[in-house]
């Protein structure tokens, strides 16, 4: 399978250093449209869609292969290899922040910086670790997804997005969920919400920025602080923005934070 076709890769921008943007669960590369124009003058922008989302090619998808986030990290590395990318600035949102972490651990020489937006190494509370959800709550969430994906998408989108005073944002996110390949989206939801990559954080050697929203129902402040504490030398910036998707709800603040880091 041609990697460029598989992941619907888009390349633009006038600069030389690559910035690789990876979207979160149920989204596609269009979710970066408010962010990337601010970087096109100075960087080479690479956008793509994870398998099952956007205009990716799902022909080679198997549940067996994509049985962990490591498989999606391998896709990231294949994209880098195909395009000859080095000195990469990786920008990942939500679950893709962890996918980028895994890719950078595997090939640290390929990445210069990580920008992790609303990351969560684990969504499930465990002892002193507050991930935001009990295991029972996550299992209930996944059970409701299995029963009625479209209904689940319309119910969960406002929770993820926050910003109830701007319903159009939740409507866009729900619409994106509903356009996804339903079977793959179900599988990916299990990986997203049940994976635990806390032990991987100390293995990161790449300079990292953690962007945490001030009020996020999906990844609370405790998660951002935990991630910061366990990635050596990382920088934590808490945005005034609320919700889980500041790339959509607060692009100007997100851009400013990224530029100050870069």
Any idea which residues carry the catalytic annotation? Answer: 94, 216, 244
Q: How far apart are CA 156 and CA 176, in angstroms?
A: 12
54: left (phi over 0), alpha (psi -120 to 50) or beta: left
Q: CA angle at residue 183 from 197 to 164, to 5 degrees?
A: 70
3-state secondary structure 130-143: CCCECHHHHHHHHH
Residue 111 sits at φ, ψ, to 5 deg, of -115, 140
- Give dist(CA 41, CA 12) in Å, integer: 10
Q: 196 is written with which tokens?
A: 């635990």
What is the C-alpha separation between 83 and 29, in angstroms, rounded?
17
């Amino acid at each position: 399978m041609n990697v460029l076709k598989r992941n619907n890769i888009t390349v633009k921008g006038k600069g030389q250093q690559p910035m690789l943007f990876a979207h979160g669960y149920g989204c596609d590369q269009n979710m970066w449209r408010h962010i990337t124009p601010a970087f096109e003058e100075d960087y080479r922008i690479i956008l793509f869609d994870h398998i099952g989302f956007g205009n990716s090619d799902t022909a080679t998808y198997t549940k067996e292969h994509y049985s962990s986030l490591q498989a999606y990290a391998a896709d990231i590395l294949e994209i880098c290899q195909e395009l000859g990318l080095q000195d990469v600035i990786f920008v990942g949102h939500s679950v893709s922040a962890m996918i980028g972490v895994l890719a950078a651990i595997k090939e640290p020489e390929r990445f210069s910086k990580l920008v992790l937006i609303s990351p969560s190494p684990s969504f499930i509370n465990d002892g002193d670790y507050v991930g935001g959800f009990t295991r029972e709550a996550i299992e209930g969430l996944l059970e409701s997804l299995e029963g009625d994906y479209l209904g689940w998408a319309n119910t969960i989108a406002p929770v993820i997005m926050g910003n109830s005073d701007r319903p159009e944002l939740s409507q866009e996110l729900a619409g994106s969920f509903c356009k996804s390949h339903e079977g793959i989206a179900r599988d990916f939801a299990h990986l997203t919400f049940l994976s635990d990559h806390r032990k991987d954080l100390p293995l990161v050697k790449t300079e990292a920025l953690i962007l945490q929203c001030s009020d996020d129902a999906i990844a609370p402040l405790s998660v951002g602080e935990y991630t910061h504490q366990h990635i050596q030398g990382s920088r934590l910036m808490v945005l005034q923005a609320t919700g889980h998707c500041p790339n959509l709800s607060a692009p100007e603040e997100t851009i400013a934070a990224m530029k100050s880091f870069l």
